[in-house]
Amino acid sequence: MGGSLAARLLDGNKIRDQIKAELAGRIRELKAAGVTPGLAAVLVGENPASQIYVRSKVRTCESMGLYSEKIELPKETVSEQLLGLVDELNRRDEIDGILVQLPLPPHVDTKRVLEAIDPAKDVDGLHPLNLGKLVSGRPGLAPCTPLGIIEILQRSGIPIEGARAVVIGRSDMVGKPVAMMLLHRHATVTICHSKTRDLAAVAREADILIAAMGRAAFVSGEFIKPGATVIDVGTNRLSTPEEIRRVFHDPRGPLAQLEAKGSVLVGDVEPGAVREKAGAFTPVPGGVGPLTIAMLMSNTVEAARMRRKQWRVTSDK
């Protein structure tokens, strides 16, 4: 199954469009009942990547007929001010989902802010109550990127039950929740991190390898079992010719892109290695990224339905 000719590209844009088409019907139902799901996106400071993410989320809301608000605060905003805003959004009935874009400035108490969000409006799925529900397999809102990963696997016909899955990365946003979702679907799951001994050898045991550690092209060919499914969650920007020559087997295209755009996006998996050894893989860009926003829209619609008790979210997304 290995070899570049056998490697199957898992197109996140195509799967995103399927999900959005399915959501359109649910949104029409809610609107017919007088409900327009609403999302408030809070951005603190001027992080360029965060600005792009928030703008994309608000634009997607508008294109799908959801109500959205973008609330921009200066980087000097302190925890108490942000907590006051969250409290106000919790009380507004037309807001079904509250998204506080991470990372927040270092002087802000991120955990305290996330815990202040009403769990019923926690469309990022990061409130401890929702994470606890995920662990115990109870109904609740779950983190968007892990939900997107599961959608990619299921809609691409990748068997999860009985598979050996290895997750590289243990963040609350991706690594831990996706491991739980895979476990609930009867995969045998190993979580790896920076202290894992002989990381490449552990990764090579995986039928499903998920790379989510935030290090450009860290996962080389020696990490990948021939024929494995490789899900690359990384979004790293390379900004020097030296970095590009290190990462890409044929750097000509990326070097031209660097000259034109000033940076090149690369995942946590070495691009050449995954095409040579994987049975199926997600590209960067165009893999997991599009699903993250699609699942945010899905969570916002679910939150609107759950809050009005019109729809009961199914257990264990």
From the first residue on, what is the mean pLDDT of each consecutive set of 10 residues in the chain (317 residues)? 67 97 95 95 92 92 96 96 98 97 95 97 96 94 97 98 98 96 98 96 98 96 97 94 92 92 94 94 96 96 86 46
Cβ neighbors of 47 (< 8 A, separation 6 or more) are: 103
Structural domains of the chain, with CATH: 33-125 (3.40.50.10860), 143-291 (3.40.50.720)
Rounded to whole angstroms, the Cα distance separating 212 from 232 reads 7
CA 77 remoteness from chain centre: 26
Rounded to whole angstroms, the Cα distance separating 317 from 301 reads 14
CA atoms within 13 A on the CB side of 108: 24
State the CB neighbour count (10 A cutoff) for residue 292. 23
CA distances from 172 to 10, 30, 124, 143, 235 (A): 25, 31, 11, 9, 17
Which pTM does this prediction carry?
0.93
The sign one gets for the Cα dihedral 192, 180, 61, 95 is: negative
Catalytic site positions: 57, 101, 124
Does residue 180 contact residue 196 with C-beta atoms inside 8 Å? no
The three-state secondary structure class of 38 is strand
CA atoms within 13 A on the CB side of 287: 28
pLDDT for position 7: 87
- Residues making up the chain, counted from first to last: 317
φ and ψ of 93, to 5 deg: -70, -30
CA distances from 151 to 1, 290, 291 (A): 23, 11, 8
